[in-house]
Structure 1
Amino acid sequence: MTTPTVSDFLVQRLKEWGVSRIFGFPGDGIGEFDGALGRADRRGDGLDYVRPTHEEVCALMAVAHAKFTGEVGVCVATSSPGAFHLINGLYDAKMDNQPVVAIVGQQGLASLGTFTQQENNLERAFSDVAAYVQTIVSPEQAQAVVDTAFRIAITRLQPTVIVLPHDVQGMAAVDPTPAHWVSRSSSGAPSAAILPPADEIARAAQIINAGQKVTFLVGAGARGATADVIRAAEISGAGIITALRGKDVVPSDVPHHTQQLGLLGSLPSLHQMQRCDTLVLLGTNYPYGEYLPKTGQARAIQVDLKPEHMGLRYPTEVNLWGDVRCTLAALIPLLDQKADLSWQHGIAEEMRGWEREMESQAMLTFDGGANPRRVFHELNKRLPVDAIVTADAGTTADWYGHHIRLRQGMRGDLSGLLATMLASMPYAMAAKFAYPERTVVCTIGDGAFQMLGMNELITLKKYLSGWSNPRFIIVVMHNDDLAQVTWEMRTEDGNPSWPASQDVESVDYAGWAELLGFRAVRLRTDEAVGAALDEAFAHPGVTLIDAYVSKNVPPLPPQITAEYAVNTAKALLKGDPNEFAVIRDSAEALAAEGLSRVKDALHLRRSTDTE
């Protein structure tokens, strides 16, 4: 019988930590570990090994796996070049508080510090992104390093990195015995169900009970506490706003849930923040302080597992370091049932008006392609009950925030604080691997799709046959422009679009999908949107919708500031190459927005007069 190696031990230990799937890319620096994975696979007790086309995709898929399943995501790469490719994805994990463990190869121990091929100081390279990074230098140390990496990833909700030199990978595994400097560790996962002290919870309840206009700002850190959030809001008469990554934490059919806040949020959410007297932050590190209440306007409470995030965005009176679900379960019995629910009812009424406005914006027509809002509006109407939707950084995130409504049981996510381009495809694929029976929809811009998304159609082709429900839809927003950055240049800096940096080379994305044997639909007009989506949802396989959309449709914020208007005017006066189309299309969108708000104001006035 072959003596188990350190790599064999690692494979077994991963399984003990509950890992069933890893995302990896091979190389000689990680070759012995890959060999152990192969041996376990041949024995029938291995791990599901997913190999996409690039190490960065491996890391992003590991992050998405953690987000969609609540498990630890694991990615594997070879020494220096492969390891460095993981870094962007690991920063996504770091900034969105996800437990991810990266296992990276290294040259042999004798090479460390000798400037040989593919030998770099990986501990230094990963020291900022990882909460723990450690090189295994002996078989006796392997157990403690692996267990510590997982324990820290789970408790701190951060990425960790295990560096595995090539010669150590093949050394004989040992069972640590009592000895000086030798740690004997366990694979027992620690509990993260932290409950704050009772007196602090009571203080929070007193503040909420005293409030007349309570607003909950709910983030992804509240996942698993949906029923508790809704119940607490019902008792306290609170309105609910979700951060973009918390969009699926509260179902869209909760009438006083006003969706997101900020540039891609709703006007009812902005009004909640401007008018509330009590703010409760639940599992969120919402970064845009300009949209939060004025200092002194609202008494504030924060609940979070990340103590370094508390009291950071807004002056909070009570900071509850704990799990949102456990904390709310203890808080709810202390809340007084509000008799006056006019604040909550007013929020719900305004949200109904906002939904009418979003529909009006989606029904506008523009030159130069379909209205991108129409694509997302019609997509939202067709999402099945088990849908998982991913969005990319860029204008797809705007349209996702404005038009996608995730009902009970649906999931959705994207790269949050890092907001890296190209994440939508790795996220969508990781979701499909985790839930092969569900319909997955990837929405992505053409710039991001050209980065790595096109390559990942190859990965889809490779693994498609293993999914019980092969329906997988990719919607490429084809406008030949890095549209989000173009609009940011105009609205933030007063600069015109610069084609040298902003133009995206037009590619036949549908043709590329067809080349790989997938269904493809070319969508060029607003009238074709519904039929294109119907065809995609009817097809039991991969469908790519090549959506030729206008690049001049403005991603309007819920409230147009003077700075936004002035900077856009400055950009156009400086000779924006799309000046006339931008003026025409922005004017049409603004006119529709203004008309819709007048109608809603009149509707609200009439309903108030009749009460």
Structure 2
Amino acid sequence: MSSPTVGDHVVSRLGRWGARRFYGYPGDGIGGVISAVGRAVEAGDAEFVQVRHEETAGFAATADVKFGGSPLGVVAVTSGPGAVHVLNGLYDAKLDHVPVVALLGQTATNALGTGYYQELDLVRLYGDVAGEFVFQVTSPSQVQHAVDRAARIARERRTVTAIVLPSDVQDADAVPEVPDGHGFTHTSAVPGSLPGTPRQEALEQAAEVLRSGRKVAILAGAGALGATAELTAVADALGAGVAKALLGKAVLDDRVEWVTGAIGLLGTRPSYDLMRQCDTLLLVGTTMPYTEYYPAPGQARAVQIDVDGTRCGLRYPTEVNLVGDAGLTLAALLPLLAGADPDPSWRADIARWNTAWEEWSAERARAEAEPLNPELVVRGLSARLEDDHQIAVDCGTATSWFARDLDLRPTMTASLSGTLLSMGGGLPYALAAKEAHPDRPVLALLGDGAMQMNGLSELVTVAQRWRTWADPRFVVLVLNNRQLSFVAWEARAMQAEVPFGPAMDVPDVPYAGWAGLLGLAGRRVEGPEDLDEVLTEAMAATRPFVLDAVVDPDVPMIPPHVSLDQVVSTVKSQLKGDPAARGIVVEGVRETVGAAARAVRRHVRDR
């Protein structure tokens, strides 16, 4: 048997850090690592998922961690173009604070600096996305430290790190032991302890603020995932209502009467009212960026819990910041909340808002559309979700309907490109969810723009791998509206412009037909009369199923608080000759509060 190579050492050492699954695409610049992964796969010590593009490898490695498959995501890509392609997926990890290590191929050391083919300055290129740690290995003796530093920093700081590996170094013999002498240092592959609880004095200060509240609101994000019981107990002790940031949508059951659902531009009216009428705010594991959806400055006393103190006080002027694990910190707070005296009408108000919102949402989904209302489709899927479903979401109008129309519960997992908001991540996320938990069903929600960006190609990966999954259920909903409709709505609402057709229109593609060519299942649905039958068939399919739902692009996404400026801008775009104006006006009137409608009429009358 030949001696272990540097590539073998990289793979095995990352395994000690919890990384078993490698996402990537081969090339000669990363050949030594790919060969080492292959040997580990044969030994049963690793898995390799070959995707169709390096960008989707970055998305998938990020999602693998988000869906609980691995504590550390890993991508392995070749030099030059491969290292450039993967950047977008890695920025998704960086912005959502997900630990990922990038293994980057590089030109052989003897050719570095000569302008050799595919030679790029990867240390400089990765200085932002992997700014916490990016290192180019030039000697086998450096590898052990490089891997340990990359893995430790990625896990402890929840960020992206990168190791640049020249091709000749990858194939060199590994150095089994670092010499014991001056100029050499030793290293450990043992992760640090998990975050704990804040000091008692800080907990008591936070409890004093929270006990004083009569109308307490909680905003929970991704950092609260896994702390459902503790969050529920604290919310009950305070008589609080809870809104959820998108990445934390699965932390509490959307059907609970004091849970107001998603918050922000795509969120619910009850979440908006919760924040604007509370007198006390508890932020748990979130830095949701839309500050107009928080309480007004000075309205509420505020406490924040986060594992990273640098993120405290970032969105709202907090009085007490607790740095620690969300579950442990909430559990430590709970006994200190005795004596809280919430307004008994507060939760009754929240329940009333939720009831009104649900009635309005159901009416909105039944509203006339041509040919299908997208909310009707998503609500139909929501009713068919199982307790262990995993949901992957792409960016665009699919995100809006996910936020508003899909009822989640804590036994489910759901995620998307939350802060980068990148199109094209939905299918890679769904693939990673299935690779992480092959015995659980998956639902992917995509718009047709996102499906054409990365979904069509990654459906090839699905076709390649689905027979290895214990549970083959994998439904891809494509909201086929022949338009980049979210961007079109932004043009109407933000620029007061008619959407520019050549930029916004998307070709109509037979998505279900493409699935059939790949040996998968699929159906196209073009009217409400067939919807129930197709949804039932899709969710029960014994192989991956593409649901091509032809939906109306003109169903409006009205913000929960209906900004008058946005409504007026939309009217201006209609007056400029937007061909969708009639449908937008009809639906817009149904969804707009009286004050906004009167403002629009005044604007039209006075122009």
Matched, 1:360 2:363: yes
- Write the distance in 1 (CA, Å) between the matches of 2:207 and 2:281: 12
Q: After superposition, give the CA deviation of every residue in 1:315-372 in whole Å (9 maximum; x if it has no partner).
A: 11111122111211211111125454321232123212211111111111113x2000
- Write the distance in 2 (CA, Å) between the matches of 1:95 and 1:592: 39
Q: After superposition, give the CA deviation of every residue in 1:5-44 in whole Å (9 maximum; x if it has no partner).
A: 11111111121112221111100001111112222333x2
Determine the structure 1 residue equivalent to 2:64.
65
Residue 254 of structure 1, CA deviation: 2.6
Report 1:136-155 matches (<5 A).
Answer: 136-155=137-156
Q: Which runs of 5+ in 1 are unaligned?
A: 596-611
Q: Does the CA-based 8 Å contact 1:135-1:162 persist in structure 2?
A: yes
Report 1:40-79 matches (<5 A).
Answer: 40-42=40-42, 44-69=43-68, 71-79=71-79
Residue 471 of structure 1, CA deviation: 0.8
Q: Does the CA-based 8 Å contact 1:361-1:592 persist in structure 2?
A: no
- Write the distance in 1 (CA, Å) between the matches of 2:29 and 2:159: 25
Q: Does the CA-based 8 Å contact 1:365-1:526 persist in structure 2?
A: no
Determine the structure 2 residue equivalent to 1:110.
110
SS in 1 for 2:585: helix
Q: Does the CA-based 8 Å contact 2:16-2:189 persist in structure 1?
A: yes
Determine the structure 1 residue equivalent to 2:14.
14
Q: Which runs of 5+ in 2 are unaligned?
A: 598-607
Q: Does the CA-based 8 Å contact 1:497-1:577 persist in structure 2?
A: no
- Write the distance in 1 (CA, Å) between the matches of 2:39 and 2:392: 35
Change (3 A) 1:333 1:591: closer
Determine the structure 2 residue equivalent to 1:604.
none
Residue 114 of structure 1, CA deviation: 2.2
> Identity, % of aligned pairs?
42
- Write the distance in 1 (CA, Å) between the matches of 2:312 and 2:538: 44
Q: Does the CA-based 8 Å contact 2:241-2:259 persist in structure 1?
A: yes
- Write the distance in 2 (CA, Å) between the matches of 1:208 and 1:194: 21
Residue 578 of structure 1, CA deviation: 2.3
Aligned residue type for 1:154: R
- Write the distance in 2 (CA, Å) between the matches of 1:292 and 1:497: 31
Residue 424 of structure 1, CA deviation: 0.7
Root-mean-square deviation (Å): 1.7
- Write the distance in 1 (CA, Å) between the matches of 2:534 and 2:595: 27
SS in 2 for 1:253: coil
Residue 591 of structure 1, CA deviation: 8.4
Residue 290 of structure 1, CA deviation: 1.0
Report 1:488-567 matches (<5 A).
Answer: 488-567=490-569
- Write the distance in 1 (CA, Å) between the matches of 2:358 and 2:584: 24
- Write the distance in 2 (CA, Å) between the matches of 1:230 and 1:476: 35
- Write the distance in 2 (CA, Å) between the matches of 1:271 and 1:376: 25
Residue 472 of structure 1, CA deviation: 0.6
Q: After superposition, give the CA deviation of every residue in 1:129-182 in whole Å (9 maximum; x if it has no partner).
A: 112111111111111110111111111110111111111111111111223332
Q: Does the CA-based 8 Å contact 2:14-2:151 persist in structure 1?
A: no
SS in 2 for 1:382: coil
Among 388, 400, 417, the residue aligned to 1:386? 388
Q: Does the CA-based 8 Å contact 1:360-1:592 persist in structure 2?
A: no
Determine the structure 2 residue equivalent to 1:343.
346
Aligned residue type for 2:16: E
Q: Does the CA-based 8 Å contact 1:281-1:303 persist in structure 2?
A: yes
Matched, 1:308 2:310: yes
Determine the structure 2 residue equivalent to 1:606.
none
Residue 49 of structure 1, CA deviation: 0.4
Determine the structure 2 residue equivalent to 1:334.
336
Change (3 A) 1:337 1:389: farther
- Write the distance in 1 (CA, Å) between the matches of 2:143 and 2:183: 13
- Write the distance in 1 (CA, Å) between the matches of 2:311 and 2:137: 32
- Write the distance in 1 (CA, Å) between the matches of 2:375 and 2:484: 17
Among 242, 247, 250, the residue aligned to 1:248? 250
Determine the structure 2 residue equivalent to 1:157.
158
Q: Does the CA-based 8 Å contact 1:236-1:337 persist in structure 2?
A: no
Among 380, 401, 411, the residue aligned to 1:399? 401
Report 1:39-438 matches (<5 A).
Answer: 39-42=39-42, 44-69=43-68, 71-130=71-130, 131-174=132-175, 175-340=177-342, 341-367=344-370, 369-438=371-440
Q: After superposition, give the CA deviation of every residue in 1:454-491 in whole Å (9 maximum; x if it has no partner).
A: 01111011101101110110100001100000001111
Q: Does the CA-based 8 Å contact 2:564-2:596 persist in structure 1?
A: no
Aligned residue type for 1:82: G
Residue 558 of structure 1, CA deviation: 1.3
- Write the distance in 2 (CA, Å) between the matches of 1:585 and 1:268: 21
Q: After superposition, give the CA deviation of every residue in 1:203-244 in whole Å (9 maximum; x if it has no partner).
A: 000000011111110000111211111100010111101101
